[in-house]
Amino acid sequence: MLLFGANKQRLKIIALIIAVLLILFQVGCGKDNNAGNKPEGPGAEQEGEVSIGEENEPDASGENAAGQKEEPAAPKIGTASDSFAAYVEAKGTLSTLLVDALSSNPDLGMEVLNLMGVAMVDLLVMPAGFIGLEPEAVMSGMKFMGATDIEYEGSGNQSALSYTAEDGTKYRFNGTYDAKADKLVCRVTSGEDDGVYYEYQKMPYGYVGQAYALEGGTVTELYQIVVHEEGGAIGLAYNTEKPAALTGSESRDFPKNCPAWYAIDGTTVTGVASNGTEFNYEYTP
């Protein structure tokens, strides 16, 4: 049985639900990520802080007027919640673009049904947006999702949750976020080994990700995803072997190893349909 199936109209509805939930969780339940940061605006300087005026700004040599060497600012590392929201948004934008592009071709219209699971799986791993938050925020967020019998264990960028969904199914969520690599690995299980496995990683060109459903040791559905500045690609396979974990060395063509895949690069749409037919055409959104 396919875990991610949905009808055509659900894609945009699900994307909206995800966006609303993420906003609510971050604003209403999450910690104040700006706490301790220097406020902006007139009168925002705090006691003990030094205002950096023009006389102290570094010159081209990297030194300020006082002759002090200025160290480059460390790159900002976001939270798991921020990262998950950014990935879901990027993937959702690509999915919507591919749905529109495929729908514009009379011969490929039905292929959009194969992309519904790409959005559905984000709902299944929604607890990933809670990694790193305080227990009270996690409990509030899960209750907002309709979960009961919630048990939570979390430390830093690792999280473990057990809960009962509204339909009575008991789930177990485990997730780990690597802030330096901007990489998330998680799974949701309702048995010993079966369940949904989900991972993504930030890449120089954008994102690489994959998700699959495992039943009885067989991958019933597999989605592999690449998002880049000009579009991206989504590949899918059914009843296949368990894929290797992401390494961070995947190319922009990573999803094209799947039996069926859909890609858009600028205005060029390419791919292999579920019946094995190759296609290549131009589409302007």
For residue 186, give its domain range. 10-29+76-282
Question: Does the residue 58 lie in any domain?
Answer: no
C-beta separation of 136 from 145 below 8 A: no
Question: Does the residue 96 lie in any domain?
Answer: yes
Identity of the amino acid at 39: P
Question: Does the residue 159 lie in any domain?
Answer: yes
Question: Does the residue 47 lie in any domain?
Answer: no
What was the pLDDT predicted at 133? 86
What was the pLDDT predicted at 86? 95
Question: Does the residue 124 lie in any domain?
Answer: yes
Give the whole-angstrom CA distance, residue 149 versus residue 276.
Answer: 46
Backbone angles phi, psi at 80, to 5 degrees: -60, -40
When pLDDT is cut at 50, 70 and 90, the band that residue 192 belongs to is: low
What was the pLDDT predicted at 174? 95
Give the whole-angstrom CA distance, residue 37 versus residue 134.
Answer: 19
Task: Tally the domains of the chain.
Answer: 1
Spell out the residues 6+ positions from residue 47 whose beta carbon is closer than 8 angstroms to its own: none
Question: Does the residue 43 lie in any domain?
Answer: no
Task: Check residue 250 and give left, alpha or beta (phi > 0: left; psi -120 to 50: alpha).
Answer: beta
What was the pLDDT predicted at 193? 62
What was the pLDDT predicted at 217? 82
Per-residue pLDDT tens over the stretch 1-32 = 344 444 333 344 444 445 545 444 443 444 44
CA distances to 33, 62, 249, 280 from 43, in Å: 21, 28, 47, 58
Asked if residue 236 has pLDDT above 90, the reply is yes
Question: Does the residue 180 lie in any domain?
Answer: yes
Per-residue pLDDT tens over the stretch 102-155 = 999 999 989 999 998 888 899 889 999 889 888 898 899 899 889 999 999 988
DSSP-assigned letter for residue 47: T
Question: Does the residue 61 lie in any domain?
Answer: no
